[in-house]
Amino acid sequence: MSQEDVEIAKQVVDAYNRRDIDAIVGLGTPDFEWLPATTRIVEGGGYRGRDGFEAYLVEIGNTLEELRAVAAEFRDLGDRVLVLGRMQGRGIGSGVPVDAPLGMVFDFRDDKVSRVRTYLDHGEALRAAGLAE
């Protein structure tokens, strides 16, 4: 089943880059959580379900344009999938480029994504996934 989870994680990353909310909601549990690194650092929270994810995209869209997850590696961890890559984009107005390490840990329940945790450091993502650096 976990190779299917890798394929689902790939679909979520692709849908995220297209801002396809319907696709992401369809791949997730009704109560899925999206926990972006920047939100956890500043506010300590995340976004739940469709409404939460839509709010997240509005917030991102107010500060960044062309923000993309560039996934370089997908690791099958059984009930989780680890994604390592980069986050790339540009600030609205300023045009300042964004290019940072990105790690994502996808948790699954009933063959759907139940939680996505993102990190701006590969080491943090590896630790969150239960792996050593």
pLDDT of the chain, 133 residues: tens digit per residue: 478 999 999 999 999 999 999 999 999 999 999 998 865 444 557 889 999 888 888 888 888 888 899 999 999 998 899 999 999 999 888 889 999 999 999 999 999 999 999 999 999 999 999 987 6
pLDDT for residue 71: 97
Does residue 35 contact residue 44 with C-beta atoms inside 8 Å?
A: no
